[in-house]
Structure formats: structure tokens, C-alpha cells
A and B are shown apart, each in its own frame.
Chain A
Amino acid sequence: MLKFILSVLFSLVVYLPSYSCFADDDSATLLKKMDELFRSKSSIAMMKMQIITPNWQRTLAMKSWTIGMDDTFIRVLSPRKDRGVATLKKDKEMWNFFPKINKVIKVPPSMMMGSWMGSDFTNDDLVREVSLVEEYQVSKSIEGENYRLTLVPKKETVTVWGKIEFIVNQKTLLPLEQSYYNEKGAKVRTMVFSNIRDFSGKKMPAVMTMMPLNKKGHKTVIEYVEAEFDIDLGDNVFTLRNLQTRF
């Protein structure tokens, strides 16, 4: 999920100049271009994640490295108790490292669908290669100042969602909201984008708030503190050994 957002934002930003020439482009092409641009890039980011539940609240500070959609490395910097906990995702496999017990553990299916670090994002969100244009049929409509992109999964797509919708601002071409619907048409979760800021020359929303609508009192807020794109990350980042490296 994180990755996807990053990629979408990034690709939108890059695509921005060229988009102005294609004011009436087909929505599928738009989505496709997002996917494609998305794949070839890399990023390093510092972010904060605030998790709110009816029983507890936490704020994590993390640093993340990504290449395309395949490789992700996230390391938790604070709070102190969880400092050093790291997650590595390569292709379809995922591992966690726990410094307290000094063990690298491959994530089994039972943990996959569980939430990542207690947030409203699942491990699965992180792992799955979401190529929206290949997996969804997209159509676009205009609502006031915004576009509404409606994505319906194709027949073979493995997903629980019946529909995903984006509300994208026509001028900035930045998403304002992403909603997930079940097949009966009920909205199950919503992501709201806000606080547009400049990151290394690119404008993108710094804050994403994920709210599950079927669980009251739950919310996860991700805030990007810093982000750099298209940097050469080297070969050592996405290795199991790196999980255990001192930093």
C-alpha cells in the first residue's frame, strides 16, 4: 500500500508536464503510464506513522527504501522499544527482523494478512504487486474540479475489493481520496490525501490517512517527512543481511 502510494504520487509528478498536452487522454492510458513510470524508479524516504485504535495509540518513525514494485526495505527508528525492527520484501516473499531477539523470520501466511506493525495496512498490502491497469478496468468521469477514476477488477484479478475509486484533482493531478468498496457497493476503507508539499522538487501529498469504515475508532496516518527519488541504492540494501546491519 505504502509503496503503491509512493509510486502513484511519484509517477503523477513526473508525468505532470507531459500531461498538460493530453488534456483528454483515455483514463486507461493514464493509469497505464502511472504503472509504467512507477516501475523503473527508486526512492528513499523518512516517514512517521501514527496508529490510532480504541485501545491504544502509537507513533512510529521509519525509513524506507524501494525499487520499483518488487523490493521494499523498511526500518523502524522509533519508539525505542521497536527501534531496529525491519521488514524486507523481495518479489513475493517477506521477512521481518527483530533486534531484541536477533532473529530473522520469514513471514508465513498467517502473519501476511495480519496488520503491519498494528496499523490498518496489511502485510499483504506491502507484498502484492499491484499493477492497477493490468488488474482493473478503469473509467473516468468529471465531478466539479475533480476526476473520479473508477476501477473495477478484471475477472482473473485476485482481490477482495469490488471497486476502487480515486478522486483526483484536475489541476494538480494529485489524488485527494482513494476508496475501497466491497462488491455490494459499500465503502469499506478510505484513504485521504492532504498537505501537499514539495519533496526534492516534486509536489505530492505528505499526509495519507487510512480509515477502515467497518471498524470504529481505527485510523492510521502516514506522514512523509523527507523523500528522495531515482537514486542509485546499490545492491546491498535488499538483502537478508541488511536486515541485521547496525545503523
Chain B
Amino acid sequence: MAIQTPESSNASKLDNTASSATFNKPNSTYNHSSQNTLIARLAKRSIFRNTRRTLLTVLLISCSLAAILFTDAFVRGMVETMVKISTQTFLGEGQIHRFGFREANDIDLYIEDTTALYQQLNATKAIQAFAPRVLTGAMTSSSENVASAIVYGVDAAKEAKVSKLKLAVTQGDYLSGIDGEIIIGEQLADLLEISLGDRVVITVSEANGGVLSQALFRVSGLFSFNERSMDIGMAFINLSQGQQLLNITGVHEVALRLQHLQQAADNTLPFWQTLNNDHIETLSWQELVPQLSSMLAMTKYSTLIVSIIMYVLVCLGLINTMFMSIFERQTEFGILLAIGTRSKQLFYQIMLEGFFIGLLSVTVGLLMAFVLCYWGSIVGIDYSELEMSGLTLNEPIYLILDASSFAIMGIATLVVTLIASVYPAFHAARLQPSFAMRKTL
């Protein structure tokens, strides 16, 4: 133990004699670094003196850290699942329309030059698949009843790569490009009192003129998206027939599936620019359904609050621990101070103790978190009893590991530990030796 008297000029000599074995410093220098290292060793030793307590503290901090990281990964996974459900059910991660179409769904405003557009889309790497559609309000009639619905003309093969229409077919078959095929929602079929194979007449008014046009279809399949508005208000026919019915050569909408979901938010990608001009507009899902991104923003916000609360808890627990350890060693500190240890050094020692505990906890915590989250990302958490608008969550929520979260949370925890150590260290440094040495049972 290095002993220092404040005004001693023999400091270096004493220093040397006491620790010559471990240090090789010139006698004349008032050696800070050796003192610091000794204090460090002291700090380390004190921590492990009461292993039980240290362990408990480390447990507290590392568990909290792991818990926060787990929640973070969970929320990220949940957000992505929610977004995927919304966009992959039918909406698409982005949509292209003729400028002005979206305001009133005016069937006259269709994208005319589809060949050039498709070429452009095929050439864009970020776009994994696209599905062209025509859509119009229409009357559907059966022998029993009449109902209004939105009729979509889709390209069966392309549509299956972008939306979940094919998977939503519950009875009969999906579209296969043959004229006369129509798949309708289960609730619409109920309303019209028809089932597979029955006749359905679709009446629309043609584009550019409004002349009425009708065609006969036979119910080839029924679908259910588990969402009332879709199951009672939609019907799907083949794209070519839809175009014939409306007497147009283009399409109203092209739904996009990107390579990665995140690209929808990234508007630095070149294709957003090239696909937005005077004629057509391309919007990401965030712009198409702003309500969804609002809900997600709120989720992120509440996660932030939860994290802050957790850190405060950790802080409290840590302060508690530090104080306990200080009070236990009060006698010891008293002696230390009595024989001349500088307050500053005591302060520093306690801070170091806190730092080491923090370091240890963060390491353990990050490891625990990594294991948990990794397991979670492979196995996922099953939420299947839950139903959200759209399809039931039939996929488990996979946790998403994020390196930056790990780094930030880890460092934050360390910082919090240090902050928590300040007051106890300060308190210890200001102890009066005589008071401290009083032993209590």
C-alpha cells in the first residue's frame, strides 16, 4: 500500500521502498501513475472482498441491460412484423399511380405507357417484384341480390409475388388468366347468396365516356383477408379482362415489393426520383398509409420512455449498493483517512470500484442480451392468438438485433454506473475519520 504524507519530500523514497518490486520508476518523480495503479488494484480488491454483494449488484445491472436490449429487439421485430403485415397483405411497399389518380380514384386517369414503365421497373434492382392493377367501382349482381364493390383487375402471377391474395383464397382456385374468372370475398358471396361456380354480372362504366359495360363471370374462388371491408367490398378478375371491361389499355396502379423493407423509407435511392415526374407518382407505404407510421412512431416513443425508467431504476439500485458497501467499510475508510490518505484518492478509489462493477456488469449484460436476442431471432415469439386488422399474426415475431443499440445501451449503462458512483464516492471522501471508526454492531 503506498503511503503518502501530504508535505513529505521523502515521498518518492518511501514509494520506492514499499513497492520497488513492482515498480521501476525514478525516485525523484512524484509518481501519479503508480499511485493510480495502486488505487486501481485496491479498487479491484475491494470489489471482490464481498463477492456476494458485488455479484448481486452485477446481477442487477446486467439483467437490466439485457432486459432493455431484449425489449429493444422485440419492439423492432414487432414493428417490422406489423409493417410487413400491412404492406404485404395487399398494399405493397410502394405504389405507382398516374398523377391525380389518388384523389378520387378517377378511372380516366390511368398510366398509359406501361411497357416503358415495366422495363424501367425490371431494370431497377431495388424493386423485387411489381403488380399492375386496374381498379374501379362496380355493381356486382347475382340472381338473388345486387351489391356495390371495388373490382380489381390483376395479373395473377405478378400479383402473387407482391401481395397475399393467392394465400387468402379459402375456397376454389386462384386466378389463372382465363377470362370469366372472378374471386370474391366470402362476405360478399354471402351477401349475393352465391358460391363457387355461380353466375355474377359485373357492371361498370367505361373510362372516357361512361358508357355502361357489363360482363358475365363465374365465381372461381372465394377469399378472406379477415378484414371486413376487404371481404365484403372487393372482387378480383384478370387484368386483361379488366382492361377490356373498362376499355383502357393501361393500368391504374402498380404495387411494388422492394428487396428490403427499409428501402421504403430511404428516399435517397435513385428510383424514387426517376419514378416521380409529371405523369406518375410513386409513394412509399409510409406516405400511403400515414396512420401506420404514426402508430409506429408512438411505439418507439414509449420504448424510449421505458428505457429511461429502467436506467433510473438501475441508478437507484446501484446507489443503494454502493452506499451499503461504503457503510460496511466505514471503519476501514476511517482508518485510511486517519493515516493520511487524501480525500481525492478515496473518491477516486470508489469511483473506480463503481467503474469496474459497471464494466463487469456491462460485459455480462451484453453477453446475456446477445444470447437472448439471438435465440429470439431464430425462434421468435409466438403471438398467434392475436388478431390484427389484416391477417392474423400467424408468424412469430422475430427479434431484430441491432449493433448500434447494443453499443449505445452498453455505453449508457457504464455512464449511468459512473454517475451513480459519484454521490457515494463523494460521501466517503468527506467522512470524518473519528466518526467513521466507531464500530457498530
Contacts and interface: CB of A to CB of B under 8 A. Distances in A.
Direct contact, A vs B (beta carbon within 8 Å): yes
Interface of A: 92-93, 106, 108-110, 112-114, 122, 124, 127-128, 156-162, 180-184, 188, 214
A92 B199 CA distance: 22
B365 to A, nearest CB: 63
Interface stretch (B56-64, B67-75, B201-209): B201-209
A159 B201 contact: yes
B436 interface: no
Contacts of A160: 141-143, 199-201
A128 B215 CA distance: 12
B139 interface: yes
Given A158-B216, A184-B198, 7 more contacts: A93-B212, A106-B210, A109-B137, A113-B141, A113-B146, A114-B146, A158-B215
A160 B143 CA distance: 5
Contacts, number: 67
B212 A188 contact: no
Contact of A109 (B138, B142, B199, B200): B138
Chain A interface SS verdict (over half):
loop
Contacts of A106: 210
In order of increasing CB-CB distance, the 10 nearest A-B pairs are: A182-B143, A113-B139, A113-B146, A158-B216, A160-B143, A109-B203, A188-B143, A109-B139, A109-B205, A158-B214
Contacts of B211: 92-93
Which of the listed residues B200, B212, B216 has the most CB atoms from chain A within 10 Å of its own CB? B212
B341 interface: no
15 contacts: A106-B210, A109-B139, A109-B203, A112-B203, A122-B146, A127-B212, A158-B201, A158-B214, A161-B143, A180-B143, A183-B198, A183-B199, A184-B198, A214-B144, A214-B145
Contacts of A127: 212
A137 B114 CA distance: 42
A52 B372 CA distance: 71
B148 interface: yes
Nearest to B210: A106
Interface in B114-145: 137-139, 141-145
Contacts of A182: 142-144, 198-199
A159 B144 contact: no
Which of the listed residues B142, B148, B197, B203 has the most CB atoms from chain A within 10 Å of its own CB? B203
A134 B146 CA distance: 25
Nearest to B212: A92
Contact of B212 (A109, A159, A184, A214): A109
A158 B79 CA distance: 47
Interface in B175-205: 193, 197-201, 203-205
Contacts of A114: 146
Interface string B137-169: 111011111101000000000000000000000
Contacts of B197: 183
Contact of A159 (B137, B148, B216): B216
A110 B148 contact: yes
